[in-house]
A and B are shown apart, each in its own frame.
Chain A
Amino acid sequence: MLLSRIAAEVRPRAPWEAVDHGFGLTRRFARQLFPPWLAVLTAGWLLVILPLHAHPGWAFALLWWLRPLFDRVPLFVLSRALFGAPPSLREVLKALPGLLRGHLVSALVLFRLSPVRSFLLPVWELEGLRGSQRWRRSSLLQREDRGTATLLTAGSSLLEMVLVLGAATAVEFLFPERQPFSSGEEQVAELLGGLDLSNADLFGLLAATYLAHALIEPFYVSGGFALYLNRRTSLEGWDIAIGFGRLTERLSRAGLAGLLAAFLLPSGLRAETAPSGAPAPGTPEMTIRQVYEAKELQTKRTVTHWKSKKAGEERPSPRLFDDLHLSPLASAARPVLALTLLALFVALALRLVRDTRRERGAGPEEARAASPPPRVSTLGEAEPLPREVPVRARSLWTEGRREEALGLLYRASIARLAESGLPISPSSTEGECLSALRRAAPGALRTAYLADLVAAWQTLAYAHRRVDEAVGLGLCAGFARAFPAGPQVPP
């Protein structure tokens, strides 16, 4: 047994953690563990069941009693796999007679009902001790972790029972005509009573037990084995032994390298500088190079910017634009360029001063007079207003072009109001126009008319809702009254 070759992390663990480590080991080595285990288990079960097929109850009891024999197979595979030599199926079968023959009495009679069976199994099977020696060894190991080992045995049986009951319940669910509905509790009662079970039921139970046992038992064995290894780790300092072994190995390698460096310095240097080409594949250098060649690390990019050639040094000719690398022609044109720039600046400054003076000099009255009058007529420019607005609007309305009718009325109203001097700009909204009119002529007929018109227009054009026939025709008729022809209405 070479501790340094162990294929599992060795450190002192808490007992339950050790058990879980064992469970993990079963999964880690499942490929090596389960084929021989299933082969031996299936063969053994068939050997027992076939002669006893008339008495499945007896077969069941006998198989349960023989369990420790089968447990030796996963322990054999696991102990060898852990030290780097997992046996093949053939090797296990070859070793099988030897495995099954040893100390049958103690396994099947004396310790069959031991609650710490899987914990002590390695002592019996792997250490090969006999008599009082074995007894002393077992009692030393059991001084701690006995409780956990007991709970391991009980818990594994519980897990197995859970799986058997689950399978039985699933069958009940799938074949409901056997019983309308049988809950799990009834199943338990049936199982414990065991009186009404027919042979078919017993064989079904045997099959379910086989499956559950085949899955759980390797975990149980490896859990106990890991607990045993953990106990020995703390008893004998396995982790310390492995750590010291590695330390000594490292130091001796380092010492050797130091000697080489001391005696063969020149050749060593040459060896380091010589291979400028590709290093041999598999070496750390090659791995590092591969990593750096990965796409994720390709972050090279070209950055261009101006930078002083001699940062911090005193410049011999402190002239403007000296750092610019200009062509000879551009160098000759440099004074021209400078003069043009200067002229531009002056012109800009003059223009700025003039504009500022004009704005400040012009009073607000003057400015308003100078600015053009609000060109509300642009509203009508797109389509000139017809001479008889109400008539045209009424005909549009009766044709069903209601939006155009109201639009025409609105445009005409605004145009009249603008003509009469109401301060309206082309960008004013309906609401702004209305409020301007309300301020200018509160309570006037045209104010009420415009309010009705705007409401109808917004209902039709924006809300896309119907406007009553009477309302539309009333607006058409009311236009003439609200805006009697001509701009003589005072604002």
Chain B
Amino acid sequence: MFRGKAPLTESEVLPFDAVRRVETPEGVTLTLRVAGPLPRLYAALVDGAIRGFAYSIAAVVLSLLHDLGQGPLLLVLFLGEWAYPVLFEVFRRGVTPGKSLLGLKVVNGDGTPVNLTASMLRNLLRFADFLPFGYAAGVLSILLTDDFQRLGDLVAGTVVVHADSPRPRASRGLRVPDVPPVAPPVPLHAHEQRVIVGFAERLATWPPERARELADLASGLTGAAGQEGVTRLLGHASWLVGRRRKAGEGER
């Protein structure tokens, strides 16, 4: 990336967003929604609790062997601390149970799935992140680096990202009302189409007054105000999501 040489940096052109932008060779820009210290802290706590539970079960079972069980128990502890994250990250595409609960996953800096080498590197360097005590170095590194990377991430070139659907919760399960489709009077950009569809999907979450206020803002497109504007926007949204039947007709 040639951020320094470009006349305008991304942060000056685009409004701020906590994402890492990756440009593919095809010129497509992908956005990775990097995850900050708190979700990662809670994911680590969940993983720690799972491991602790497993250790206690192992300790109870191995205590039946009296002194002989101490060696195997140490082995279980060692494997739990060092192999647990690597195994989950490699075989479950960067998701440990804790990360899954928080909707996070580990990926390479370019968004590709993390491989064995990178995963081992970032997890072996937990030792450095832990110093001097309780991941203090890791917390500082996450707070101070651009993409919330701890030292292990910096060395392995990985980032932790929000993996859950980018579709916001607000429009999940909400549909564009089934009204007769009306083609928009002018061609629209993709992001403008998304706004209109989003308005229609989330219409039910707003009081009618707020919906009319919002629709008034689009009067440049609808040429109408108040409830008439809302109706026209709904028609456009219906058309934009692909419905093509005329009013009064049934499904084709």
Question: Which segment, of A61-69, A154-162, A271-279, faces chain B?
Answer: A154-162
- A interface footprint on B187-222 (CB within 8 Å = 1, 0 otherwise): 010011011001100100110001001110111110
Query: Chain B residue with minimal CB distance to A162?
Result: B134
Q: Which residues of A are found within 8 Å of B133, using beta-carbon distances?
A: 162, 165-166, 168-170, 184, 187
Is there an interface contact between A159 and B37, defined as CB atoms closer than 8 Å? yes
Known: A14-B169, A156-B38, A241-B214. 10 other contacts (CB 8 A): A17-B18, A23-B36, A155-B38, A165-B133, A169-B132, A240-B199, A240-B202, A241-B213, A243-B194, A251-B221
A-B contact pairs, 14 of them (CB 8 A): A11-B168, A16-B103, A16-B162, A20-B35, A27-B143, A159-B38, A166-B139, A169-B136, A187-B133, A234-B169, A234-B202, A236-B210, A244-B217, A254-B186
A151 B217 Cβ-Cβ under 8 A: no
Residue B14, interface by CB 8 Å: yes
Q: Are A240 and B162 in contact (CB under 8 A)?
A: no
Query: In the complex where A166-B133, A243-B191 touch, is A16 in contact with B102 (Cβ < 8 A)?
Result: yes
A:108-126 near B, CB below 8 Å: none
Given A166-B137, A239-B195, A8 contacting B17 (CB threshold 8 A): yes
Main secondary structure of the interface of A (DSSP, over half): helix
Which B positions have Cβ atoms within 8 angstroms of A?
A: 11, 14-18, 33-39, 41-42, 102-103, 131-137, 139-140, 143-144, 146, 148, 162, 164, 168-171, 186, 188, 191-192, 194-195, 198-199, 202, 205-206, 210, 213-215, 217-221
Q: Residue A20 contacts which of B132, B148, B170, B215 (CB distance < 8 angstroms)?
A: B148
We find that the number of chain A residues with CB closer than 8 angstroms to chain B is 58
Measured in the bound complex, the distance between the Cα atoms of B41 and A249 in whole Å is 43
Q: If the complex has contacts A16-B39, A25-B16, A239-B198, are A166 and B136 also in contact, measured as CB distance less than 8 A?
A: yes
List 3 A-B pairs, minimum CB-CB distance, nearest first.
A166-B136, A248-B220, A243-B195
- Are A155 and B18 CB-contacts (below 8 A) given A248-B220, A251-B220? no
> CB-CB contacts of A135-151 with B at 8 A, as 1s and 0s?
00000000000000001
Q: List B contacts of A9 (CB < 8 A).
A: 14-17
Cα-based distance from A216 to B37 in the complex (angstroms):
11
CB proximity of A294 to chain B, nearest CB, Å: 10
Q: How far is the CB of B195 from chain A (nearest CB, A)?
A: 3
Task: Tell whether, in the assembled complex, residue A245 and residue B132 are in contact, meaning their CB atoms are under 8 Å apart.
Answer: no
Contacts of A219 in B (CB 8 A): 143
A237 at the interface (CB under 8 A from B): yes
Taking a contact as CB atoms closer than 8 A, the residue among A12, A24, A152, A249 that contacts B168 in the complex is: A12
Q: Assuming A11-B168, A12-B168, A25-B16, is B41 touching A158 (CB within 8 A)?
A: yes
A464 to B170, CA, bound (A): 85
**Majority secondary structure of chain B interface residues (helix, strand, loop or mixed):** helix
What are the interface flags for A1-36 relative to B under an 8 Å C-beta threshold, 1 for contact and 0 otherwise?
000001111111110110111011101100000000
Known: A163-B136, A173-B132. A247 touches B15 (CB 8 A): no
Among A14, A168, A245, A246, the most chain B Cβ lie within 10 Å of the Cβ of A14
Contacts of A235 in B (CB 8 A): 205-206
CA distance A246 to B199 in the complex (A): 14
- How far, in Å, is A240 (CB) from chain B's closest CB? 5
Q: Is the CB of B18 within 8 A of A24?
A: yes
Give Cα A237 to B197, complex, Å: 12
Cβ B206 vs Cβ A237 within 8 A: yes
Q: Are B198 and A14 in contact (CB under 8 A)?
A: no
For A170, list chain B residues within 8 Å (CB): 132-133, 136
A240 to B215, CA, bound (A): 9
Task: Determine whether the beta carbon of B34 is less than 8 Å from that of A20.
Answer: yes
A215 touches B (CB below 8 Å): yes
A28–B134 Cα gap in the complex (Å)?
Answer: 27
Q: Among B102, B132, B202, which residue has its beta carbon within 8 angstroms of that of A237?
A: B202
Known contacts A165-B134, A184-B133; is-contact A19 B210 (Cβ 8 Å): no
A9 to B15, CA, bound (A): 5
Most buried by A among B11, B15, B137, B217: B217
In the bound complex, residues from chain A placing their C-beta under 8 Å from that of B137 are 166
Q: Which residues of B contact A473 (CB under 8 A)?
A: none
Q: How far is the CA of A158 from the CA of B37 in the complex (A)?
A: 11
Q: Indicate if the CB atoms of A16 and B38 lie closer than 8 Å.
A: yes
Q: Which residue of B lies closest to A12 (CB)?
A: B168
Q: CA of A25 to CA of B15 in the docked complex: distance in angstroms?
A: 11
Give the distance to chain A from B101, nearest Cβ to Cβ, in Å: 11
Q: Please indicate the chain B residues that have their CB under 8 angstroms from the CB of A395 in the complex.
A: none
Chain B residues within an 8 Å CB radius of A162: 133-136, 139
Contact A165 B18 (CB under 8 A): no
A252 within 8 A of B: yes
Assess whether A451 is interfacial by the CB under 8 Å rule. Answer: no
Chain B residues near A21: list those with CB within 8 A.
17-18
A223 at the interface (CB under 8 A from B): yes
Residues of A close to B170: CB separation below 8 A: 12, 234
The docked-state distance in angstroms from the alpha carbon of A216 to that of B17 is: 20
B199 CB, nearest partner CB in chain A, Å: 5
Q: Are A237 and B219 in contact (CB under 8 A)?
A: no
- Give CA–CA (A21, B192) in the complex, Å: 23
What chain B residues lie within 8 Å of A13 (beta carbons)? 168
Is A240 a contact partner of B143 (Cβ separation < 8 A)? no
Distance of A236 Cα from B170 Cα, bound (Å): 11
The minimal Cβ–Cβ distance linking B212 to chain A, given in whole angstroms, is 12
Of residues B16, B131, B192, B215, which shows the largest number of chain A Cβ atoms within 10 Å of its Cβ? B16
User: What are the residues of chain B within 8 A of A249 when measuring CB–CB?
Assistant: 220
